């Protein structure tokens, strides 16, 4: 997911540069907002990447429990 977010950010930066050159103020505002959301999404993805989830061992229905 993070590499895709990097691609999106690079594209948005290019689009923002063109919008700035063309004087498209509304477009710049929209791109800035999208870049803000993208940064939040990146931070969220990085947090989830560091989280470990313990799922336990699978069991079969009706199998005896081997707990001590």
Residue 64 lies in a domain: no
Is 5's pLDDT higher than 90? yes
CA-CA distance, 66 to 20, in Å (whole number)? 67
Residue whose tokens read 């950010």: 9
Higher per-residue confidence, 63 vs 47: 47
36: in domain = yes
Is residue 44 predicted with pLDDT exceeding 60?
yes
Residue 66 pLDDT level (bands cut at 50, 70, 90): low
**Count of domains forming the chain:** 1
Residue 56 falls inside a structural domain: no
- Phi, psi (5° rounding) for residue 12? -65, -35
Range of the domain at 36: 2-49
In a domain, 15, yes or no: yes
Q: pTM score > 0.85 for this model?
A: no
């Amino acid at each position: 997911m993070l590499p895709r977010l990097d691609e999106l950010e690079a594209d948005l930066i290019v689009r923002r540069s063109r919008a700035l050159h063309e004087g498209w103020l509304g477009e710049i505002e929209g791109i800035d907002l999208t870049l803000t959301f993208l940064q939040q999404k990146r931070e969220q993805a990085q947090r989830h990447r560091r989280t470990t989830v313990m799922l336990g061992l699978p069991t079969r229905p009706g199998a005896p429990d081997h707990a001590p």
